[in-house]
C-alpha cells in the first residue's frame, strides 16, 4: 500500500505540472494491483479484474460521450488508466466512491483555482490528482464511509 501511495503522489505531481499521467508509472502499478490481489490481499482477483475493466471503461465512455456531444476532448487516456489501476487495487467496489469524491472535489477546487488564477473557462484542469486522492481515500476508508452513509441515510 505504501508503494501505491508514493506512486499516486508522484503521478499527481506530474499531472499537475505536465497534464500527463505517465504509462511508465500507471501501468506497472495497475499490474501490481492485479498481482497482489491474485493472493486476495485487498480483494479477490475477480473483483480486482472487474475493477480494472470497469474503471477504464467508465471514463472511456464518458470521454467518448463528451467528445461526440461537444467535439472536444474532456480528459486524457491517462485518467482511464489511473481509474483502472485504482480498480485493480480495490476492486470494482471502490469505483463509485472514487468517482463521486473526485468529481465533487475536482469541481469545487477546480472552480476556486480558476477564479483565483482568473483563467478562462476552457482552461484545462488535470483530473488525475483528484482521482488519485479519492481513490486512495476509497481504498483506505471506503467501507467505513459507505457504511456511515448507509446508516445516516436510514435514520
Supply the pTM of this predicted model: 0.92
Q: What per-residue confidence (pLDDT) applies to 20?
A: 96
pLDDT at 109: 86
What's the CA gap between 78 and 98, in Å, rounded? 16
User: CA quadruple 77, 80, 82, 85: dihedral positive or negative?
Assistant: negative
Low-confidence ranges of the chain (pLDDT < 70): 119, 121-122, 155
Check residue 42 and report its DSSP letter. Answer: S
> What pLDDT is attached to residue 74?
87
* pLDDT (0 to 100) of residue 67: 96
pLDDT value of position 145: 86
pLDDT (0 to 100) of residue 150: 77
Which of 148, 90, 151, 128 has the alpha carbon at shortest distance from 12? Answer: 128
pLDDT at 3: 96
pLDDT for residue 122: 67
Q: What is the CA radius of gyration of the chain?
A: 16
**Which residues are within 8 A (CB) of 88 and not within 5 positions of it... i.e. 6 or more apart?**
30, 31, 33, 34, 37, 48, 49, 51, 52, 55
C-alpha cell at 59: 471514463
**pLDDT given at position 121:** 67
Distance CA 150, CA 155 (A): 9
* pLDDT at residue 64, as a whole number: 97
pLDDT value at residue 14? 98
The pLDDT assigned to 65 comes to 96
DSSP state of 24: H
What is Dmax (Cα atoms) for the chain? 49
The candidate with the shortest Cα–Cα distance to 54, out of 1, 99, 101, is: 99
Amino acid at each position: 500500500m505504501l508503494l501505491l501511495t508514493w506512486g499516486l503522489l508522484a503521478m499527481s505531481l506530474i499531472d499537475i505540472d505536465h497534464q500527463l499521467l505517465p504509462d511508465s508509472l500507471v501501468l506497472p502499478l495497475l499490474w501490481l494491483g492485479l498481482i497482489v490481489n491474485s493472493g486476495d490481499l485487498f480483494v479477490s482477483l475477480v473483483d480486482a479484474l472487474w475493477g480494472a475493466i470497469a474503471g477504464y471503461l467508465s471514463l472511456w465512455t464518458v470521454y467518448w460521450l463528451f467528445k461526440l456531444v461537444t467535439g472536444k476532448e474532456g480528459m486524457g487516456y491517462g485518467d482511464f488508466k489511473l481509474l483502472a489501476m485504482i480498480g485493480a487495487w480495490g476492486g470494482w467496489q471502490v469505483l463509485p466512491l472514487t468517482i463521486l469524491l473526485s468529481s465533487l472535489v475536482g469541481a469545487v477546487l477546480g472552480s476556486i483555482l480558476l477564479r483565483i488564477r482568473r483563467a478562462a473557462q476552457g482552461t484545462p484542469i488535470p483530473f488525475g490528482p483528484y482521482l488519485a486522492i479519492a481513490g486512495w481515500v476509497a481504498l483506505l476508508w471506503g467501507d467505513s464511509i459507505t457504511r456511515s452513509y448507509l446508516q445516516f441515510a436510514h435514520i
